[in-house]
Structure 1
Amino acid sequence: MISATKVRAGALGVLAACSLAVLPQLGQPTQAATPSARSAELARRLAGPDGHVMVVAHRGCWKATSENSLDAIAQCRAMRIDMVELDVRTSRDGVPVLMHDADVARTTDGTGRVADMTLADLRALHLREGMGGTSAATERRIPTLAEALAATGGEVLVNLDAKAVDPAVLLRIVDEAGLRGHVLFKAEASASEIAQHVPFVRDVHFQPILREPGMADDPVAAVASYDALAPVSYEIDVKTQGFLPRLTGALRARCARYWVNSLAGRIYDDHAALEDPDAVWGRLVAYGVDAIQTDHPGILKDYLSRSGLRSFACTPS
């Protein structure tokens, strides 16, 4: 994604740094084996709203595993979570790996910047339990992006948060895995920036990130500014609860998903949702939100199933 204040390497990262020159190298997505029913269902779900409220696991299902790990992906797959959000950085020798921070200290038993370490250096480290910090080291290792995509088996969608990655390499790995239809790319940048630098943006599933303070005066116009890119989803960073309904009609008119993060510290807070899910997750769905990113994906999934909540469905043009 892109910083709200500057365009950085992973910002128009996944997308914008690519030019026409690299398109021929990317080619078409690899033909995968016949997809499972689950894989086909998820591909349809990513393409547009289907009445299902999509559950997105922030950094994978890490509560009983380790964030951004293969086990976190496997846990989500076993729980039939819709999507995992994964953070990607590049090792010194050019290999995209899963890691949120620029430094490995929080999540592993080592220290140092990812960009200064080779893949072999990173492989020697042990991931810590959960979100790391002072938690115990495990036998889990830092996975490459290619390994992470393979671990999904096409049965979990992937939202890539590229922190520092050569976009041509990133897209090539997605295509070699045959998972272009299962990956959501995102960027926080104006539509004109993206259109200028990413001529192939309409050939991938794309989600712009928009923040309430920057669009509060005319949120519908802010959404409309991306029409030429045909996003399948819009991530809206909301600061006030009353802002959400102002966008529902505009996103439904575009047959696009309405994505909101209910992470700790946000206006819609995971911790509050555990105490009163109706007041947080239920209210989001009532306002038209149909993709919720959370650190409690299993609990959110159970809540949605128990409550029978459904959302808007449409057929993308």
Structure 2
Amino acid sequence: METPQRTVRTTRTTPASRAATVLAATLVITAFVLPVDSVRTATAGPDAPPCPAPAVAGHRGAPRTAPENTMAAFRAALDGGADWLETDVRTTRDGVPVLMHDDTVDRVTDGHGSVADLTYEQIASLRVTAGPGPAQPVPTLQELLDTLAGTGTRLLMEIKEQRDPGDAARIARTAAASGADAVLYSFFPDHLREAHRAAPGLPVVLLQGRFLAREPDGLRLDGIALDEPLATADRIAAEHAAGRRVYVWTLDDDTAWRTMADRHADALVTDTPADARRWADRQCGRTP
């Protein structure tokens, strides 16, 4: 911007003219300062439109950055800006909750066998190889909960199908005792009931895929997690009207994120949390 040229004039100074000069200078300063503050107020004020971006949840951590459901994947998700984490919990033969999606270790590790048939010592000797980067140990649920306790990061803790009915309760008690912000999250209403009885203070969320899960009779749901094809605008609006939050999975591109944000989903569960975070920040006018 160019500096304006000033014209020098010789005038006779009087008290009245000095007062007028001060007043004029004050008005000039005000004219330059007040509009800036007014713009800030208008942008951040109560009439500003709300940011449309839902929470970002790292599905099994960040499985396109590190082996899925490992501490490396969870760290990558948090480093990428995930608000929440999502994981899967199964129980070993000797009753230790570990983080594993499949009912066997075959796909994701260098070992073989059913999680429910292996002891924790046997699971601990394995390494997770499903995903980029170095192979990683199989974490226990306790390990992840201890990392998240006191951080405010929410954990969507999917209770997979359990062989022993008491395992769902054991998982819930472990989560409640940790002090972490954990959610009881499952396709299985019976597991949710058992878990809720063991830890009534934790939120309860029912997962629904293409085959709808039966709702747990007599158990109030804090939310529902929908597979993307089920998350229509009408369905999300109906769930909100019933007082439930809606989490949608698994969404890995900006078209899906925009669609679900426009439908007012509360969280996007994604394999690419860093990309989703950058997208969400752009929607809110924030610098990542």
CA RMSD in angstroms comes to 3.3
Name which of 195, 201, 205 aligns with 1:203: 201
Deviation at 1:306, TM superposition (A): 0.6
TM-score (normalizing by structure 2): 0.68
Q: Please give the residue correspondences for 1:23-42 in structure 2 after superposition, counting only pairs within 5 Å.
A: none
TM-score (normalizing by structure 1): 0.63
Q: Say whether the 8 Å CA contact 1:202–1:229 is kept in structure 2.
A: no
Q: Please give the residue correspondences for 1:125-136 in structure 2 after superposition, counting only pairs within 5 Å.
A: 125-128=126-129, 130=131
Deviation at 1:194, TM superposition (A): 6.2
The residue number in structure 1 matching 2:87 is 86
Q: Which has the larger radius of gyration?
A: 2
Does 2:259 match 1:262? no
Q: In structure 1, the residue corresponding to 2:101 is in which secondary structure?
A: coil
Distance in structure 1 (CA, Å) of the matches to 2:212 and 2:120 = 39
Q: Please give the residue correspondences for 1:209-288 in structure 2 after superposition, counting only pairs within 5 Å.
A: 209-211=207-209, 229-239=219-229, 244-263=232-251, 270=252, 273=253, 277=254, 279-288=255-264
Would the alpha carbon gap of residues 65 and 197 (structure 1) be closer, same or farther in structure 2, given more than 3 Å must change? closer
Deviation at 1:146, TM superposition (A): 0.5
Deviation at 1:183, TM superposition (A): 1.0
Would the alpha carbon gap of residues 188 and 101 (structure 1) be closer, same or farther in structure 2, given more than 3 Å must change? closer
Opposite residue 201 of structure 2, the aligned amino acid is D
Stretches of structure 2 lacking an aligned partner (at least 5 in a row)? 1-50
Deviation at 1:199, TM superposition (A): 4.9
Q: Say whether the 8 Å CA contact 2:222–2:244 is kept in structure 1.
A: yes
Opposite residue 277 of structure 2, the aligned amino acid is K
Q: Say whether the 8 Å CA contact 2:89–2:97 is kept in structure 1.
A: yes
**Percent same amino acid at aligned positions?**
27
The residue number in structure 2 matching 1:314 is none
Aligned length: 231
Distance in structure 2 (CA, Å) of the matches to 1:195 and 1:185 = 10
The residue number in structure 2 matching 1:109 is 110
Q: In structure 2, the residue corresponding to 1:292 is in which secondary structure?
A: strand
Opposite residue 183 of structure 1, the aligned amino acid is A
Distance in structure 2 (CA, Å) of the matches to 1:167 and 1:292 = 25
Deviation at 1:52, TM superposition (A): 5.4
Would the alpha carbon gap of residues 86 and 214 (structure 1) be closer, same or farther in structure 2, given more than 3 Å must change? closer
Structure number with higher relative contact order (C-alpha < 8 Å, ≥ 6 residues apart): 1
